[in-house]
Structure 1
């Protein structure tokens, strides 16, 4: 018995783990963790220069599931200077939808009934002083929240309302008191929507620009609307607003690309904490001048990760970088370089897992699969426009004022 124990204690174990096992484990980690573990050893800090490891990391990233894609339908909005169209995209066709017309009935403060159908078709198409045209709406945000969309009425600088397409319920957001302040002119420059999961509250954040008088410099500030209190409040924050109003939203936080002086930023707003986070975008990620119109930028959510797509129109190449951790500049990583893809020119968003939705050069939509590098033609857009956005919508029978029920 004693001899047996002595034999067992003399056995030597190796602390060395084969590289293929280490690579396999590390490649499954989130980018945030992987960046932090780079300080453990020099070899781990060089993993992003290893082609074999990066291939495994990309493949694992593309196999991850995320509730962002648990939607009912994909809504396509086309925007033109005179209005825009709304379409529902399925696997094999695109169907035009009617914009709502909440202006057929008086605005109800406490009881937001669906509009009556007493207006004539002529009023719907042409509009009037009491019933403005219904084609100049803009959907705010890239996703519906609990089945509810926020619409911006382009007939007015300040009119927002909530709409549940499933129940056709409306709720008007009251005008901000700041609009009646003694400014020469005041208008919103950017609007985002989100959900506060701590307070079960639907919220709207927007940047406002005001001119105190004709000779003064513009003043910028932020406003926040709460559905629970049905009021606006002012937030003091010195962060850049979006120049193109293209954003991504996930897990109660909205993000947009902004620029100040010579620096590019990802700006994020947490609707629960009501706080901003800015993340500097390094030059190797945003490797072009902000005024170089041959390079386009688009934020998308790629399998749960925030991604920035740079479109180089001259070469038909697309550079995709993802962010590992908010607020950490060095957590950006250029992960994919795809192309040349001369048939594709404008990435719109990520509507399906592993796939990015593009406008193609023939006036239609196509999906590019990052896993197998294939292009799937979807449909032709009935009325091509200079701007197209994608909104993921999930149907819900919840009342707008009863999100927390």
Structure 2
């Protein structure tokens, strides 16, 4: 009998795991798994209310290594000029040692003397004959380079896209979509995104297209998908919320952006491999007044591999950062960081490393905010500009035509 009691006692003791060990293990899990384990027992469901646990979880989130940041630089695009007709876009590269340099755009439209039209009569000028403009209005599409290749939107030509590898300085024109030639009252691109289909080894571009069959009728939206492998466009039918900002993040073959429909905000995601859409409602703790209030800015960034939403409260100079645990699950949003007040910071423009976020200062400067130790590092001042977007870029010598072949 004594031996049986001893054995039972040993089993009971061996099955007990101290809370600090449990917390340490759980804090290393992805948010998706942690949210699901909340149903195991009541203490686990309350972990997000525990300050000690949340500190461990934040530290693990910021310190884990993610391949997205290996050997990458951050491309920063800025817009200069007060009026649409004289906008000029500049491109800067921020490297790991915090050095920032200006890059030259590709020039697929060089102005040569022999390219100029031989006649300069007033009649021909009225018909639209003019010299090709210098390329200063190329806009980067997407938030990452795919195998070292960027997609550029030529703002001088409606709907024209160019693939460009900054390392080799090679470029390739994407053929115009046939849908642009349909005789509607008007058809134009509304939102363009890029991604990689890892199953077919294919570079793809998807565009939200807006059509106006009749000026008295509401606009019609649909989707157009380009494949580099086939060098063709195909229309996709999908009823998803339209984007209200040209801001997106990309991770693991899926592109994500912020959309809205009937005063309801969503995260909209597109999987480039199975060519499907997923929508995720806004966080429970963010009400509609926050999402649609002009005094509350919002920005999507990729925070060490996780989709993060930054809400900027201009009246209090506070920044709230939440990450998403699982696509399609509204309750999987979790608020992790509250920063501020920082009255001299104006706008978060993207994540530079796994734990640093780029902020625009109110005086036009650019700084890095370290989430782990709450320090601020001055980067540079780019005068008289508007910061458009940031793009994670990894150099590659792979030829553009070789991405999908």
Partner of 1:231: 232
Does structure 2 retain, via aligned residues, the 8 Å contact 1:358–1:368?
yes
Partner of 1:26: 26
Give the whole-Å Cα distance in 1 for the aligned partners of 2:30 and 2:72.
28
Give the whole-Å Cα distance in 2 for the aligned partners of 1:286 and 1:168.
46
Does structure 1 retain, via aligned residues, the 8 Å contact 2:228–2:404?
no
Give the whole-Å Cα distance in 1 for the aligned partners of 2:347 and 2:49.
29
Give the whole-Å Cα distance in 2 for the aligned partners of 1:286 and 1:359.
26
Give the whole-Å Cα distance in 1 for the aligned partners of 2:322 and 2:248.
16
Partner of 1:97: 103
Displacement of 1:361: 1.8
Partner of 1:119: 112
Displacement of 1:79: 2.1
Give the whole-Å Cα distance in 2 for the aligned partners of 1:231 and 1:20.
56
Does structure 2 retain, via aligned residues, the 8 Å contact 1:93–1:379?
no
CA offset digits 1:268-293 (Å, max 9, x no partner) = 00000100000111341466344421
Give the whole-Å Cα distance in 1 for the aligned partners of 2:168 and 2:306.
32
| Number of equivalenced pairs | 384
CA offset digits 1:39-68 (Å, max 9, x no partner) = 111111111111111111111111111111
More displaced 10-residue stretch of structure 1: 317-326 or 68-77: 68-77
**SS of 2:372's equivalent?**
coil
Partner of 2:142: 141
Displacement of 1:10: 5.4
Displacement of 1:18: 1.9
Partner of 1:208: 209
Displacement of 1:319: 0.3
Partner of 1:40: 40
Give the whole-Å Cα distance in 1 for the aligned partners of 2:146 and 2:220.
31
Partner of 2:351: 350
User: Runs in 1 of length 4+ with deviation above 4 angstroms?
Assistant: 3-8
Of 85, 88, 91, the match for 1:86 = 91
CA offset digits 1:213-268 (Å, max 9, x no partner) = 22222110001000000000011111112211100001111100111112111000
Give the whole-Å Cα distance in 2 for the aligned partners of 1:265 and 1:154.
28
Relative to the length of structure 1, the TM-score reads: 0.90
Partner of 1:310: 311
Partner of 1:248: 249
Relative to the length of structure 2, the TM-score reads: 0.90
Give the whole-Å Cα distance in 2 for the aligned partners of 1:391 and 1:277.
23
Go from structure 1 to structure 2 and tell me whether the alpha carbon gap of 1:280 and 1:7 turns closer, same or farther (over 3 Å shift).
closer
Displacement of 1:404: 4.2
Give the whole-Å Cα distance in 1 for the aligned partners of 2:404 and 2:177.
24
Go from structure 1 to structure 2 and tell me whether the alpha carbon gap of 1:129 and 1:400 turns closer, same or farther (over 3 Å shift).
farther
Does structure 2 retain, via aligned residues, the 8 Å contact 1:73–1:394?
yes
Does structure 2 retain, via aligned residues, the 8 Å contact 1:222–1:236?
yes
Give the whole-Å Cα distance in 2 for the aligned partners of 1:178 and 1:203.
17
CA offset digits 1:348-402 (Å, max 9, x no partner) = 11111211011112211100001001101111114422x4211121111111111
Give the whole-Å Cα distance in 1 for the aligned partners of 2:70 and 2:165.
17
Give the whole-Å Cα distance in 1 for the aligned partners of 2:130 and 2:292.
40
Give the whole-Å Cα distance in 1 for the aligned partners of 2:375 and 2:101.
25
Displacement of 1:11: 4.5
Displacement of 1:29: 0.9
Does structure 2 retain, via aligned residues, the 8 Å contact 1:92–1:379?
no
Give the whole-Å Cα distance in 2 for the aligned partners of 1:255 and 1:398.
26
**SS of 2:244's equivalent?**
coil
Does structure 1 retain, via aligned residues, the 8 Å contact 2:266–2:281?
yes
Mark the runs of 5 or more structure 2 residues left unpaired by the alignment.
Answer: 117-128
Give the whole-Å Cα distance in 1 for the aligned partners of 2:163 and 2:131.
20
